[in-house]
Structure 1
Amino acid sequence: MTKCIHCGLDCGKNPVMFDDKPFCCEGCSMVYQILHEKKMNRYYTMMPTPGIRLDQDNTAGTRYAFLDQTEVRSQLLEFSDGGISRVNLFIPGIHCSSCIWLLENLNTLHTGVIHSNVNFVRKEVTITFRDAEISLRQLVELLHTIHYIPELSHSTKKKDEHQHTNRKMLMKIGIAGFAFGNIMLLSFPDYLPGGEHVDQLMAGTFGIVSFILALPVVTYCSSDFFLSAFKSLRKKIINIDLPISLGILALFLESSWEIFNGYGPGYMDSLAGLLFFMLIGRWYQGKTYESLSFDRDYRSYFPIAVTRIKEGIEDFVQLKDIEKGDVILVRNSELIPSDAILLEGEGSIDYSFVTGESFPVSKKTGDFVFAGGRQTGAALLLKVEKAVEQSYLTRLWNEEKVGETERAGIQSVVNRVSHYFTIILLALATGALIYWSFFDFGKAVYVFASILIVACPCALALTVPFTFGNVMRVFGRNGFYIRNTEVIEALTHTDTVVFDKTGTITHARSMNISWEGNPLSETEMQWTRSLARNSTHPLSVMIGEWLPESKVIIADDFREIAGLGITGVVDGNTIMIGSRRFITGNDEEVASRLSTVYLSINHVIKGHFTLENRYREGLTEVVKGFEHYNIHLISGDNDAERSNLRDIIGSDESLHFNQGPADKLSYIRNLKSQGKRVIMIGDGLNDAGALLSADVGITIADDVYHFSPACDAILQSSQFGRLHEFIRFSRSAMKIVYSGYTISFLYNIVGLAFAVQGLLSPVVAAILMPLSSITIVSFSTFSVRILAGLKKLRA
């Protein structure tokens, strides 16, 4: 048999040839030619015959014409600014690492694709593309060409499909349970003393009835196992459903042979019981997954807040409280949380968080703006047009960061172990079948089925996601919001912590402020407040709140230079607020424990604000909690507080002052080059690059809940004193993971030992298999809750 190079199916008598390689159809040959021309042959080296065979569809050129309609296009796109668009598509054909590699390299197939990101579990791909080079229709046609056809109506059907799947599973459980009960009743005499003396005609009749009752169990109730095993075999993959399917078939065929040859009732009762308990186990596992997913989706979100203006009053509110029609204020560097209409101001919006392309998009009054952008100029007034979808913002946050390399964690090791587990299991079951065949073939089949069913790597694979998933839930309920479970594992390997100063170890919203210099008129204070209002920097926010309330004037030509200050034109006057170097060009700073912010109006220095720094409560305890870490501090301020910080941090060599954003980034990179595993803790304003470069970047969020996409975690400022406890909790959680692995290995070793000796029936094996997964889930959940109780964290 000649196999297709692309999909692995039989090419038949007349294979399509290209480059001296056989293909089953023109479609597979075409995909190969495209990849060959683009020098993407690695697709075929990652896995043999990874492609999908589809009947060639010559209507692809017209079937997607509807995607050119503006209304349809706007419903499908998550984002579009006229130049760059973003779409999330469900592709059922995603099934292996080669699929992921190919779909995440679409930019090689077409230059109009900027980047693409695959969610393997959901079988979804998010693609960002340039409208001028490739339209949505052309993008879908490109996917169709390489045989990854998206289901464009999937999102509207998800809920109905989910409900249908649940009903289908419950129906299968009901049928299997009905058959199990009745077959057990018919088999009852065989379990009693003297059962062998039952009338042969009646025993044969009972056997035939048992066979009839077992037919829907095998053909319908076990269909998911057979289909999964069949699909995996077509792709040269051995999944866990393959040994289960073999066990079911072995029991059914052996029992049928015994019944129709008059040798006995077979094992139809065990077969029905096996399916009944396995289906219950899978149903329970599914419900558990749903519960954990719901918890993650709705309870563990990071708390983004936004400034809402209602009846002239500015107020910070949570995203969930924002409704369509609300007017919100978005300052420089703040995230636009919802699709909206620009009411006031000039938009210069950076959509790199959404598209990966870091250049500002200009917007004027009346323009529509998409969620996920970041304003890079003066404050904007926006009217919300669509209810906030934090699931969308969270998905953006969870996507791989630009320049981030994949963390090779413990889960990748477990995935490799699980792959070989099934192969070893099949070899062991075959060996036991051969051995027992010399004594009793019926017993051999019984043992064969028991081995295939009792052993399961599922519990092994569930340990990390369930343990760390529960840790994320505990952290979220205690004000520590994690990007994904990989961050928790990364925390356990860290050995160095780097603190920023302003807004991180000092309070950002509670400073004593005073003015030194020429008295300011009401008009000058109004100008100053109007400019300061545009920035989210802690010092700008404090100054804006300290100045008396007045009507806000729109600032033109607003600019914020990270680490230096802000400037803009207010009512025709050039206002500058920032450091002495920013205002005068002089690098000399007055040595003082106070933060000094200078004010210039029309290039005349009016004086300066002094803000007395106050360290956060619990700072000393946090530093002590990191006693086994290398502790560093980097700050953009002068070194007036060196002596105080030396007493807290404990090392003068680890204190670095007058550090700009580039200096902070360089410092983190230097530590990592020395082999250090670094936690960077900042405010996400002047240290975004350093946060992104660190192994784990954590931002401290005050009442504003300033959100930095560069970070891996967000810590509410009220929980700052418990930071070291969260790190210790992560390390303890890793011990729970190792304990879960131990339980899983012991279960499989003990279960297999009994099954090989013929001391374990398939029914008991069917009960134990899901029970092992349930045990791991329960163990992880309760262990994390107990640990949270010991650490006095709310679970």
Structure 2
Amino acid sequence: MKMKNNPADTPAPCPPACVVRCAHCALPVPPGLVEPGAEHQFCCSGCKTVYNIIHGSDLARFYAIRDAVGDPDAQPARTTESDYAEYDDPAYLDVYARPLEGGLMETSFLLEGVHCAACVWLVERLDRVVPGVVSSRLDFRRATVTLTFNPAVSPLSAVARGLDTLGYPPHPPRGMKKEQIRRAEDRRYWIRVGVAGALAGNIMLVAIALYGGMFGGIGREYEQLFRWTSAVLGLLSLAWPGSVFFRGAVAALRTRSVNLDVPIAIALGVGGVWGLVNTIRGTGEIYFDSLSALVFLLLVGRWIQHAQQRRAADAVELLFTLAPTRATLIEQSDGAERRRTVPVEA
């Protein structure tokens, strides 16, 4: 005979209010880690360490900011408890640090665990946690912090340990210098594109006046003025924004090869010369409106091509992030073996 369970004997599910939350990350604390009678509960030792560091440094406002902005990507704090001794190696400092006036140094780190505005607020107050830190600025989008510190007060390893204890393990900014060079090149290229677009737009306005004069009539003096204005602006477009195609063609011919820049440069050069000749003669087509528009569109197309190539190259470079950043150096001295951690750059 089967016994029916009495609903009154079945324990009711625990309501959300009774779920024990971590005092740092606000995630549920596993039942095995709940400490009865403790004022604060933590889901892991990392959260407990970070919580004590934050409150000990009078940075408890971090939690108010986090709650105000909301944090859908909450995660337990991750601390590695590494000593980061390799960051004090001269070989590492030569590559990743830059000396400043007054004995200060500047460096950058890529940080793990950056996911909200409260993280930015906390990282930029690193000077309250680590003595010797003068300033810290966090680029949230790239999760990169730029630090100015006094190595005589705190070596770089101590600064890295400070970030680690806050739950943001630091890593060497591999490729940062390359990224800075790339961004400078992008700025110069977009200035070139902007100038090409401005010249093409103004030449088009002049061309509208000339085309209108073909149907409605235009004074000879105004026609010559517009033709010379178009010629001057068109030659400027070919001379600076369009020079990238001429340089590419010359470089290809010097290596006895032909690339896409060669026919483009020939077309631009022939069109520019013929347009200038017709401007001087005062008759015939001058082509500068078409040439300037062609330069602008070709530059935009080249940018799209480079962007696709760059994405492919970045995907390949991600593989290099799997490479180790430090190694253990074994030294023999008077029969004794000594081990120390050094950066791979050494």
Higher helix share: 2
TM-score norm. by structure 2 comes to 0.44
TM-score norm. by structure 1 comes to 0.20
The answer to which structure, 1 or 2, has the higher relative contact order (CA under 8 A, 6+ apart) is: 2
